[in-house]
């Protein structure tokens, strides 16, 4: 087990990290202390614990990778319940956290404390990130009652870690930081909540789609401190805004604790105020890699370099320029060959690539570091869509398999909508507009309102944002997606 020094961020140029109440908990029969607002994973990381699980076959130590509940590298037993994703499980006073056997034993404790409860809504929105929040606000304010479900303890999805200012125009809140947009959207949500137009369920997972007549029907598990509750949710329309997951890259040592998705590191430092490490190698110079590198510097963490396999920087030049003038080099046509270290990352070998993207012999360089961030793209989260049975297609420009959908974001199954990264990888500004389109279209389909002009206005806004060279990939993706969709009936 690796134990480090205290890694809490106390001063930050953008985020306030006030001293919070200490919570004590038990890990492997030892007392540890975390802070209120922590997840179990952030508390363990701050306590210097980086090995969370071991690999199934070779017992390799593993840390968390995605940090947002999408992968399975942080599963632990919490108060006797196995397979808890500790990266999204809130830390509570007195809980007992244990590393689990490879295949977890069935818990002794009963899962569900209360009988199943049935809920009926016009619209179910899955995911409270930028797309889901905007979808829920749009439907609810058009007189379609909404249930909004999210796996995390707080709303906002990945907006809550985006400390940079957004691009776009006034309509997309350009110049405002993602974290502030999240707060504003939440404020708006609370207003509609008070008016009884929207119900919010956090710490809850939609676990499956079930048979029902004239309705869509889902099982939702709401996690409570000791026992969970199962909800039988029926709705006329559903908007799936489940986001995306960061891609892994193949190289020896890619599962060592200390190899993270760039977004995981962004979550750890910007949401929980915990430093991922002291010296970082960033892999990927798209906007995510560039932005997270800059935010690492803002948190007082050294970024050794950014390597990018492509011959050009993929992200905006302005993001690259911010890094360069802080002295961080960006090596294009370079990639990571391997990561080494005993139970944790101690360094990496980077290598130059030739025009055929093949490693150049003798160009290997040893880069000592304790953290590797992978910013090599995202894959849409489509599992629930797939289970519902909507038509999916592999579209490289969208980041993988995506649900085919029309311009109103409706999939091949009537009443099933998709929005944001789950509908094809893009960014938060367009995700918010897609959410509005889906929310409005759902309310229109249910006959709650007629606003064809507004729908067209939102669609025009989207095309404007995608009109430039950086919008080419999503533009191609969305054209393919809309061309192939055929909408059937429930």
Among 330, 375, 385, 409, binds another protein (CB under 8 A): 330
Number of residues that bind another protein (CB under 8 A): 45
Please report, as residue ranges, which positions from 399 to 428 form the binding site for another protein (by CB under 8 A). Answer: none
- What is the CB neighbour count within 10 angstroms for residue 318? 9
Q: Which stretch binds another protein (CB under 8 A): 30-38, 305-313, 348-356, 476-484?
A: 305-313
Among 226, 316, 340, 401, binds another protein (CB under 8 A): 316
The structure tokens listed for 46 are 């701050």
Site pattern 169..208 for another protein (x: CB under 8 A): xx---xx-x-------------------------------
For another protein, which is the closer residue by CB, 139 or 295?
Answer: 295
Quick check: 164 binds another protein (CB under 8 A)? yes
Please report, as residue ranges, which positions from 3 to 32 form the binding site for another protein (by CB under 8 A). Answer: 11-14
Q: Which stretch binds another protein (CB under 8 A): 60-68, 94-102, 296-304, 411-419?
A: 296-304
Among 115, 196, 362, 469, binds another protein (CB under 8 A): 469
Rounded least distance, CB 175 to another protein, Å: 4
Quick check: 130 binds another protein (CB under 8 A)? no
Site pattern 229..248 for another protein (x: CB under 8 A): --------------------
Quick check: 297 binds another protein (CB under 8 A)? yes
Q: Which helix (H) or strand (E) holds 459?
A: helix 452-465
Rounded least distance, CB 282 to another protein, Å: 13
Rounded least distance, CB 7 to another protein, Å: 16
Q: Which stretch binds another protein (CB under 8 A): 35-43, 221-229, 414-422, 458-466?
A: 458-466
β-sheet bridge partners, residue 350? 336, 365
φ, ψ for residue 62, nearest 5 deg: -135, 145
Mapped onto helix, strand or coil, the DSSP state of residue 30 is strand
- Dist. CA 92–CA 6, nearest whole Å: 20
For another protein, which is the closer residue by CB, 36 or 184?
Answer: 184
Rounded least distance, CB 166 to another protein, Å: 6
Among 468, 483, 486, 489, binds another protein (CB under 8 A): 468
Sequential DSSP letters for 385-453: HHHHT--EEEEGGGTEEEE-B-TT-BBSSTTEEE-GGGGSS--HHHHHHHHHHHHHHHHHHTTS---HH
Instruction: List CB contacts of 481: < 8 A, sequence separation 6 or more.
Output: 393, 395, 398, 402, 404, 405, 423, 424
- Dist. CA 83–CA 104, nearest whole Å: 7
The residue to which tokens 């056997």 are assigned:
101
For another protein, which is the closer residue by CB, 12 or 337?
Answer: 12
For another protein, which is the closer residue by CB, 237 or 432?
Answer: 432
67 dihedral zone (left: phi>0; alpha: psi -120 to 50; beta): left
Quick check: 451 binds another protein (CB under 8 A)? no
Quick check: 165 binds another protein (CB under 8 A)? yes
Sequential DSSP letters for 199-243: EEE-SEEEEEEE--SSSEEEEEEEP-SS-BEEEEEEEEEEEE---
β-sheet bridge partners, residue 44? none
Instruction: List CB contacts of 339: < 8 A, sequence separation 6 or more.
Output: 251, 252, 253, 254, 256, 258, 259, 345, 347, 348, 349, 372
CA atoms within 13 A on the CB side of 435: 33
For another protein, which is the closer residue by CB, 4 or 300?
Answer: 300
Binding residues (CB under 8 A) for another protein: these are 11-14, 164-170, 174-175, 177, 285, 297-298, 300, 311-313, 316-328, 330, 332, 429, 464-471
């Amino acid at each position: 087990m690796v134990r480090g020094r205290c890694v809490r961020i106390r001063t930050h140029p953008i985020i306030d990290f006030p001293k919070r109440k200490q919570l004590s908990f038990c890990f492997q029969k030892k007392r540890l202390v975390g802070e209120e607002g922590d997840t179990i994973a952030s508390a363990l990381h701050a306590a210097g614990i980086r090995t969370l699980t071991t690999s199934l076959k070779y017992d390799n130590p593993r840390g968390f990778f995605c940090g947002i509940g999408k992968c399975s590298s942080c599963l632990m037993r919490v108060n006797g319940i196995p397979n808890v994703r500790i990266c999204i499980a809130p830390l509570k006073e007195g809980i007992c956290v244990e590393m689990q056997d490879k295949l977890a034993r069935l818990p002794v404790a009963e899962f569900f404390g209360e009988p199943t409860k049935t809920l009926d809504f016009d619209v179910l929105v899955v995911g409270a990130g930028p797309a889901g929040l905007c979808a829920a606000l749009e439907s609810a304010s058009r007189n379609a009652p909404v249930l909004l479900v999210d796996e995390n303890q707080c709303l906002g999805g990945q907006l809550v870690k985006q400390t940079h200012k957004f691009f776009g125009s006034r309509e997309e809140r350009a110049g405002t930081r993602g974290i502030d947009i999240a707060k504003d959207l939440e404020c708006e949500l609370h207003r509609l909540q008070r008016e009884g137009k929207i119900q919010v369920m956090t710490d809850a997972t939609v676990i499956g789609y079930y048979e029902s007549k004239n309705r869509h029907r889902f099982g939702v598990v709401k996690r409570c401190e000791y026992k969970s509750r199962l909800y039988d949710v029926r709705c006329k329309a559903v908007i799936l805004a489940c986001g995306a997951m960061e891609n892994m890259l193949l190289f020896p040592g890619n599962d060592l604790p200390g190899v993270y998705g760039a977004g995981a590191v962004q979550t750890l430092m910007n949401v929980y105020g915990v430093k991922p490490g002291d010296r970082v190698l960033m892999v990927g110079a798209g906007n995510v890699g560039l932005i997270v590198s800059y935010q690492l510097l803002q948190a007082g963490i050294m970024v050794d370099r950014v390597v990018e396999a492509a011959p050009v920087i993929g992200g905006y030049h302005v993001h690259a320029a911010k890094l360069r003038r802080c002295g961080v080099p960006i090596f294009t046509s370079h990639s990571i060959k391997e990561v080494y270290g005993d139970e944790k990352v101690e360094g990496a070998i980077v290598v130059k690539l030739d025009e055929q993207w093949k490693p150049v012999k003798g160009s290997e360089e040893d880069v000592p570091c304790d953290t590797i961030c992978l910013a090599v793209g995202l894959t849409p989260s489509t599992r629930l869509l797939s289970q519902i049975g909507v038509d999916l297609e592999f579209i490289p420009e969208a980041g993988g398999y995506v649900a085919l959908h029309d311009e109103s974001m409706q999939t091949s199954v009537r009443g099933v909508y998709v929005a944001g990264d789950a509908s094809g990888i893009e960014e938060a500004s367009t995700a918010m507009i897609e959410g509005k389109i889906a929310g409005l279209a759902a309310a229109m389909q249910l006959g709650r309102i007629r606003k064809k002009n507004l729908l067209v206005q939102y669609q025009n806004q989207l095309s404007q944002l995608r009109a430039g060279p950086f919008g080419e990939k999503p533009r191609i993706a969305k054209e393919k997606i809309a061309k192939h969709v055929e909408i059937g009936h429930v």
